Structures are given as C-alpha cells and as structure tokens.
Amino acid sequence: MAQRKYVSIKEVAARAGVSFQTAGKVLNGGDVRVSAETAQRILTAAKDLGYRPNTIARSLVQRTTATIGLVASDATDIAIAQASVAAEQEARRHGHSVLVGHLAAGGADGADIVRTLIERRVDGIIAAAPEIEEDTRVAELLRQYVPAVSLQAVPGGGVPLVGSNHRETGRLATDHLIGLGHTAIGTVTGPFRRRVTRSRLHGYEDALRNANLETPEDLVAEGDWTPKGGASATRLLLERSPGITAIFVHSDMMAMGVLSALFQAGRCVPQDVAVVSCDDIPFAEYLTPPLTTVRVPLAETGRQAVHLLLRSIAGEQVPERPPLLPVELIVRASAAPPRKAAPPRKDNE
C-alpha cells in the first residue's frame, strides 16, 4: 500500500544516462537500433526503478488502446458467462484487454455502457446481451464509432452477427422427442420478443409439421431464461395440457426449473415426461436426471466473436453473416420413449 509513484521513462533514462527517447526505444519500440551495452544499462535501470510502461500515454499517441469492450447480460445466465469468459481469454491471447459492462436487470443501461466504452476508446465492441436486441440507441452507437460484433440481432443491421443456428437447434431437439415416439410435445420458451426464441420455436414447429403433428397454442409456455421462469411455465403447461409427455425447453437454465416443477408435480423424468433442452452448460450432465440437450458452442461463439472483431479492427472487411456455428444433440437421460399403454396420470394436479 506504499503507493509508490510510477516512474516514467524519463527517470529511467536519467538513471541510465541516456535521453528518454533512447530509453523508449529499448523499453518498447520493436526496432532497437541501440548498442547492446546501453540497452542493457537502460534495462537494468528500468528494473531497478520498477518501471511499468504507461499504456495510457502510448494509447494517446498511437490512437489505439488494444482494448475491446464487452457488453454482457447480467450473467446469472451461465450461457452468456461462458461466452464472455472465453471471449476475454481469447482477446488476451491476442494482446487485448477487455473492458466489461454488465447490464442491470432490464437492460435499459445498454447505451450508457456502450457510450462509456467508446469514450474509453476501446478498439472494438462485442455485444453479448439478448436484452439489447431491440435497443436502437445501442445499435446506432455500435454502427457509428467502432467495429463491433454481436451475438444477437442488431436492429438495422450493419453489425456482424455470430452464433449458431437456433432454428436447427429447435428442430434437432424436437425431432429427437418425435423419434422417441412422443406426440404430445410441449415447449417452454424464452421470452417471445427474443429472436432466439422465435427461431427455436420455428424449429420446433418445423419438426412437428414434418411429423404431421399439431401445434396447438396450449403446448407453448413462455419462460424468461431463469429456472424460476422455467418452473412456472411448466406448471402452466401441465395445467393446460395434462396429457403432455415431452417438453422441449429453450435453455438449460430453464430446464432446471422444468425438472424441478415436474418433480414436484409428481411426474418422473424421463418416464412420465421427457425433457430435451438447449445449450449444454457445463453441469447439464450433473442434473437429475442428466440432461439431454442440444449443445450450443458458447465458448466457441465468444472466441469467434473476438476473431471477427480483431479482423474488423485490423481494417479487414468481415462478413455480416459469417457461417453459423454447428449445434449437436447430446443424448443423456432426460428423454426416453413415452410409456406405452399408460395414460398420463391425473393425480397431483
């Protein structure tokens, strides 16, 4: 806590008996045309003094901060956390630091966060927060000032979008359920306003349609990505359609709530109700029962976002719609064929 004042390049130079420009060359600039001996003198002087380069000053003259901004969800949602941690690590591997801003509940402060990032002159911004999907002010800022990459739709476009095929995800999950022999398949969705939700819902409908199954509205219940929301959506579903034998859930986090609500309603998973979800968060396999889910490459998405952004920062032209990352069904224990002759139990309701 001795709050030692930072020593500048000049003090190092003085101690080494050279001009500060020379010191600068050996301490930072790559093209060192300095005699080995003076270089050494400068280096030891720097070490003695505990010199730390001042990136702020460097940024000022070079007009680049080697920093990227990350706007993320509240990150109670593990899926987002996965992506953002991976993004940060990847950025650092490429010599960049990351300035984060987590949206408050509701996400109304998205524009404030982005503005701050811009004022700090980040070289680029990654948006990883479904909440700002409809925020036109954020979109505006993202387009106008720095290169940006988004993990969700940006109103008005103009910002490259990375992610996976959500419709395919919904289809894959539902197909699996259909393949097992289910016909009464409900779904617990994300918020309807979210594009991910609608895409996954489309995938779900695609699958049902292909199998000539109906999709009555009773089979769809809206959640909010939280376990709690998943649980209440499930209760609603059971109430409206007690005959349901399978549920496609739009996220693993909600699936926890679904499992919990099912358990409390006395329905066994997978015997009474089969559950398939999306994401494959790290502990999906440790739920009871282990979750059958469609793996979404979250970490990889974060990394790809960084790569695209770095290319964009470097002045390269990057596609606004790079190829979607592949998803994959991970079969575990939460989905099984429906009970043959046994009609759904009516008790516990």
Partner DNA sequence: TTGTAGGCGTTATCAC
Partner DNA sequence: GTGATAACGCCTACAA
Footprint of its own copies on this chain (CB under 8 A)? 1-4, 6, 50, 52-57, 59-60, 65, 67, 74-76, 78, 81-82, 85, 88-89, 92, 97-102, 104, 113, 115-121, 143-147, 158-159, 226-228, 231, 253, 256-257, 259-260, 263, 282-283, 285-290, 312
**What sign for the dihedral angle of Cα 230, 231, 234, 240?**
negative
Distance CA 70, CA 67 (A): 10
The least distance separating DNA from the CB of residue 8, rounded to whole angstroms, comes to 3
* Helix residue spans in 35-150 (DSSP H): 36-49, 55-62, 78-93, 110-119, 136-144
Partner from DNA, its own copies, none contacting 10, C-beta within 5 to 8 A by type:
DNA
The least distance separating DNA from the CB of residue 97, rounded to whole angstroms, comes to 16
Applying CB under 7 A, does 338 fall inside the site for DNA?
no
Partner from its own copies, DNA, none contacting 170, C-beta within 5 to 8 A by type:
none
Applying CB under 7 A, does 6 fall inside the site for DNA?
yes
- For 116-126, letters b (16+ CB in 10 Å) and e give ebbeeebbbbb
The least distance separating DNA from the CB of residue 15, rounded to whole angstroms, comes to 13
Q: Are 38 and 12 in contact (CB under 8 A)?
A: no
Which residue's CB is nearer to DNA, number 42 or number 291? 42
Which residue's CB is nearer to DNA, number 38 or number 183? 38
The least distance separating its own copies from the CB of residue 279, rounded to whole angstroms, comes to 14
The least distance separating DNA from the CB of residue 43, rounded to whole angstroms, comes to 12
Strand partners, 186: 247
Which residue's CB is nearer to its own copies, number 6 or number 17? 6
Q: Are 219 and 278 in contact (CB under 8 A)?
A: no
What residues have CB less than 8 Å from 105, skipping those under 6 apart? 74
Interaction residues for DNA, span 16-75 (CB under 7 A): 18-22, 24-25, 27-29, 33-35, 37-39, 51, 53-54, 57-58, 60-63
Name residue, tokens 């979607």.
324
Q: Are 157 and 318 in contact (CB under 8 A)?
A: no
Partner from its own copies, DNA, none contacting 341, C-beta within 5 to 8 A by type:
none
Q: Which two tokens stand for residue 155?
A: 């109103």
Partner from DNA, its own copies, none contacting 286, C-beta within 5 to 8 A by type:
its own copies
Q: Which two tokens stand for residue 89?
A: 């690590």
Q: Are 224 and 190 in contact (CB under 8 A)?
A: yes
**What sign for the dihedral angle of Cα 138, 141, 144, 147?**
negative
Binding site for DNA (CB under 7 A): 6, 8-10, 18-22, 24-25, 27-29, 33-35, 37-39, 51, 53-54, 57-58, 60-63
